[in-house]
Amino acid sequence: MPEKQTFKQTLQMKRNYMGRACKLHFESAPLKIVQASRQYMYDDTGNEYLDCIGNISHVGHCHPHVTRAGQDQLGTLVASTGFLNEKSVEYAKRMIETLPEKLCVCFMVNSGSEANDLAVRLCRSYTGHHDVMVIDHAFHGNVSVIADLSPFKWQKLGMEKKDWVHVVPFPDTYRGKYREDSINPGLLYANEARNIIQSAHEKKRKIAAFLCEPMMVTAGVVEYPPHFLSQTFRAVHEAGGLCIIDEVNTGLGRTGDHFWAFQSQDVVPDILVVGKPLGNGFPMAMVITSKEIADNLSDYTNTFGGNPVACSIGLAVLDVIQNEKLQSSAKSVGKCFKDGLKAIAPNHPMIGDVRGRGMIVGIEIVTDKESRKPAPEAADLLAYKLKENKIIIANEGQDKNVMLITPPLCFTCDNARHVVQAIDSALAEIEKGASEAGLNQSSFGENRMDIPLNILSMPSTSGYSSEESDFDSEHPSKRARYEEVD
Amino acid sequence: MPEKQTFKQTLQMKRNYMGRACKLHFESAPLKIVQASRQYMYDDTGNEYLDCIGNISHVGHCHPHVTRAGQDQLGTLVASTGFLNEKSVEYAKRMIETLPEKLCVCFMVNSGSEANDLAVRLCRSYTGHHDVMVIDHAFHGNVSVIADLSPFKWQKLGMEKKDWVHVVPFPDTYRGKYREDSINPGLLYANEARNIIQSAHEKKRKIAAFLCEPMMVTAGVVEYPPHFLSQTFRAVHEAGGLCIIDEVNTGLGRTGDHFWAFQSQDVVPDILVVGKPLGNGFPMAMVITSKEIADNLSDYTNTFGGNPVACSIGLAVLDVIQNEKLQSSAKSVGKCFKDGLKAIAPNHPMIGDVRGRGMIVGIEIVTDKESRKPAPEAADLLAYKLKENKIIIANEGQDKNVMLITPPLCFTCDNARHVVQAIDSALAEIEKGASEAGLNQSSFGENRMDIPLNILSMPSTSGYSSEESDFDSEHPSKRARYEEVD
């Protein structure tokens, strides 16, 4: 169907009608996406972008098998809350079969946030305790209780830590308290967790749950050092708490070695949460736990959770992962990516680290390899430059300096090589620009206004008409772009 | 597509793999629904049921215009978080145009629970206060904070009231503290609310929000007496709090007189929440508020919220409501329903009250008109008997004694007459059965075991094979059914 609005109209309507808190990628020059297929997205002028961040579209945008399953079910039965439904129980069975025996009962909900919230409710109800421990810089979702459990979020919003929330130091061996040169940093971080539980107990507080990802994704692609998770789980269990693994970003084969990322970690969670990849974009999520923990909740209604469209789509996604061997592809393409990035890293003073597992790859952009100081402005610039090269990538992490690569799993080694090459060139330009502007590399990241503004004011990729711009122009980078077209 | 499982297999898989807390309608003889169209649902043996509870399927199950919109979008673009999207802004605009000027900015989320949670977050963030006032017996959703704000739920689960939650007495003039014979019961209930705020203040607590439905639906179809809402809103505003209207059950023309139920109440909320009807079964919900309140939140990400499939479907639902004049139909068919029920009420000692607005109709089932004592077991029985007549209806309300009628809006006057007739016969049988069993009507509702069990053990409607039953049989009504087939 042809688009009815100009780019400018769509942007203006977004600004008029949607909460400003709902941010866009490339805020100063956003994209209007109208179509997507496999690992590609298309904007309103027909440009094709390679999608390196579309982890929601797990098996590829609009995969025909998944699309057909959804379309068929939409025409047959959509809402059947409170009735037996074949698709729903079949999907529950298929999901549970991928997991250790202990995780055998599920609840179907609509988002990772709802799922993490329910997981916490289950822990509180089962243990009779109230407090929850999380890892610093973690992000687990947007509903009230889960926002309180997402230091990534509350630190950003200037919210205060709640007294029932306990925060373990970020177990990052690249920039954290204990680094790769420590002897057994995993145990050192786990000891920190143990001390936190201890000091909570001294204040007469009791831990209901430890909520964590199997590796930290949004916080900057950080894999835990060996023994951290198993030792922390042990401490939590000894304190009478339960352990929740949030696989919203990592589940369904993305990490390559296993179907679930926790399986690389020598632990089995008491509760598993999964969201994003399940529905290839369809809103759905799941909580899977033991019968003992599940039965503790006597009544739970979720209007849309487990609807037959979601479950039909979910089944089709599982089919595709299996039929197209996407888990092993995630492993080999991920290796291709990391190998390529590691090969170019020595030539780039700003690549501090390359890490990740399977199709979750992170690149630390730093002012220089020695100081390891985050360079978020350079990372931002790199994302914009790659966008000019028709590659969509995001800079994430607590310091916004980690390029996060989490594409649909149909991504190929050719795609990976193409992205590595583009990063190689774009970063060389940025490094050259920084050095030509006479900037001391170690102060590069401190103030975006130090960067020549013309780097930010790239030509429009969106082809909207040159009518007078009525967007507000308080942001210099925005002004640069819109002045150029007007 | 033919069903692959027998009824028995589906039921067994539900029991094996899904949390027991996820209850089924007609728990002792559930239905396996395989297809639905307009106001009809079809079970696995081809029986057609008239759906009187399918409010989620607002414009009719699998409405072709809505189905097509969803199918087209599923094949074009599903996930586009962080990018401009035409469908999303168009939908925001269309929704906002139905509302008073003040409500002009929206957030798109995935469920009524998420929406109510965000509304509370917005109030807390805007006012700097923490406490929330709700109405007794209200139900607003299932995420932690919202479950705490749903007395209907926490009373049922035996949870304790949180100290930040304040509960206004149920403003029910049929069975509440002030009844229809009071002079201005609305003001009397509003004064109760004012006193609650006052006593919170005395304890140094401050009200961030008052969260309520525009009429109480799940709690038993209770319309507020005049002035209750406007006077309570005034008291909340004077205390520096904001007022949230939860239209999850009432919005989009269902109440007939207006598009939004709050418009009958002489109030404009600070925040409006809507969920269920928006997507005709697709998981979506929305928070709509003023720019001032919205802008107070600086960052909000919702992975699936406002996805193009949801918004395309949402637009199609709005089209259908308009094209098929469903709001005025809700008014006339609702009147047909209430008139019919009021006409049979005098013949039935167990019909205590008939009430509601538009296509939200409630029938109070009582032991007798004088005592007004709730008769939940009779209501339960009535639901089962209507199911035998191929009519799906639920008994809801705090005492589970209110027959709740909230069908898809394509429901006709003929459908309504058919249901009234079926209620007339079924209730006569129940009343006769009760009197023949020598039960004193006033004690009828007290113990289900007093009811002859054969009334509960109805012939199977699901046609599963007569293999040995391995379902647990601790519940007598369950045993009755399965023994009969074995």
Chain A nearest-CA distance from B482, in A, is: 17
Question: Taking chain A, what is the end-to-end CA distance rounded to the nearest angstrom?
Answer: 29
Residue A284 touches partner B, C-beta closer than 8 Å:
yes
Q: Give, in order, the Cα–Cα distances in Å from B3 to each of A87, B6, B29, B46.
A: 9, 8, 19, 12
- Can you tell me the ipTM of this complex? 0.91
Residue B156 touches partner A, C-beta closer than 8 Å:
yes
Q: A-contacting residues of B 351-370, CB under 8 Å?
A: none
pLDDT at site B433: 87
pLDDT at site B385: 97
pLDDT at site B438: 58
**Cα gap B404→B266, rounded to integer Å:** 25
Task: Provide, as residue numbers in chain A, all residues whose Cβ is less than 8 Å from the Cβ of B70.
Answer: 70-71, 74
In order along its 486 residues, chain B shows pLDDT tens digits of 567 999 999 999 999 999 999 999 999 999 999 999 999 999 999 999 999 999 999 999 999 999 999 999 999 999 989 999 999 999 999 999 999 999 999 999 999 999 999 999 999 999 999 999 999 999 999 999 999 999 998 888 888 999 999 999 999 999 999 998 999 999 999 999 999 999 999 999 999 999 999 999 999 999 999 999 999 999 999 999 999 999 999 999 999 999 999 999 999 999 999 999 999 999 999 999 999 999 999 999 999 999 999 999 999 999 999 999 999 999 999 999 999 999 999 999 999 999 999 999 999 999 999 999 999 999 999 999 999 999 999 999 999 999 999 999 999 999 999 999 999 999 999 999 888 775 544 444 444 333 443 444 333 333 333 333 333 333 333 323 222 222
Q: Give, in order, the Cα–Cα distances in Å from A458 to each of A385, A424, A436, A483, B447.
A: 8, 19, 19, 11, 75
| Structural domains in chain B plus CATH codes | 7-59+326-485 (3.90.1150.10), 64-323 (3.40.640.10)
Residue A82 touches partner B, C-beta closer than 8 Å:
yes
Give the chain A residue whose CA is nearest to the CA of B65: A75
Q: Which of A23, A51, A74 to probe the B interface (max B CBs under 10 A)? A: A74
C-alpha closest to that of B232 among B289, B178, B181, B171 = B171
pLDDT at site A438: 58
Phi, psi of A261, rounded to the nearest 5 degrees: -65, -30
- Longest distance between any two alpha carbons in chain B, whole Å: 69
Is residue A254 within 8 Å of A271, Cβ to Cβ?
no
- Longest distance between any two alpha carbons in chain A, whole Å: 69
**Cα gap B434→B350, rounded to integer Å:** 11
Tally of CA atoms within 13 A in the half-sphere of A151 that contains its CB: 20
CB contact under 8 A, A17 and B84: no
CB contact under 8 A, A18 and B105: yes
Task: Provide, as residue numbers in chain B, all residues whose Cβ is less than 8 Å from the Cβ of A106.
Answer: 17-19
| Those residues with Cβ within 8 angstroms of residue B148's Cβ, 6 or more apart along the chain or in another chain | B154, B159, B162, B165
Helices A112-127 + B112-127 axis angle, to 10 = 80
Task: Provide, as residue numbers in chain B, all residues whose Cβ is less than 8 Å from the Cβ of A113.
Answer: 114, 143, 302
- What count of other Cβ atoms lies within 10 Å of the Cβ of residue A356? 24
Q: What is the pLDDT of residues A265-310, one digit of tens each?
A: 999 999 999 999 999 999 999 999 999 999 999 999 999 999 999 9
Amino acid code (one letter) for B450: D
**Cα gap A286→A284, rounded to integer Å:** 7
Using CA atoms in the order B456, B459, B461, B464, what is the torsion angle rounded to 10 degrees? Answer: 110
Question: Taking chain B, what is the end-to-end CA distance rounded to the nearest angstrom?
Answer: 29
Give the chain B residue whose CA is nearest to the CA of A77: B35
Pairing of strands B48-51, B40-43: antiparallel
Q: Which of B303, B311, B317 to probe the A interface (max A CBs under 10 A)? A: B303
Chain A nearest-CA distance from B150, in A, is: 13
Low-confidence stretches of chain A (pLDDT beneath 50): 440-486
CB contact under 8 A, B17 and A298: no
pLDDT at site A424: 98
Where does residue B20 rank: exposed (0-12), middle (13-18), buried (19+ CB within 10 A)? Answer: middle
pLDDT at site A154: 85
Task: Provide, as residue numbers in chain A, all residues whose Cβ is less than 8 Å from the Cβ of B36.
Answer: 76-80
Closest Cβ opposite residue B3 in set A18, A86, A284: A86
Task: Provide, as residue numbers in chain B, all residues whose Cβ is less than 8 Å from the Cβ of A34.
Answer: 76-77, 86
**Cα gap B461→B391, rounded to integer Å:** 12
Quote the Cα angle for A190-A195-A197, to 5°.
Answer: 95
Chain A nearest-CA distance from B33, in A, is: 6
- DSSP state letters, B89-154: HHHHHHHHTTS-TT--EEEEESSHHHHHHHHHHHHHHHH---EEEEETT----SSHHHHHT-HHHH
Pairing of strands A402-405, B48-51: unpaired
- Size (chain A), residues: 486
Closest Cβ opposite residue A105 in set B18, B118, B303: B18
Q: Give, in order, the Cα–Cα distances in Å from B17 to each of A101, A150, A244, A390.
A: 12, 30, 19, 44
**Cα gap B350→B135, rounded to integer Å:** 27
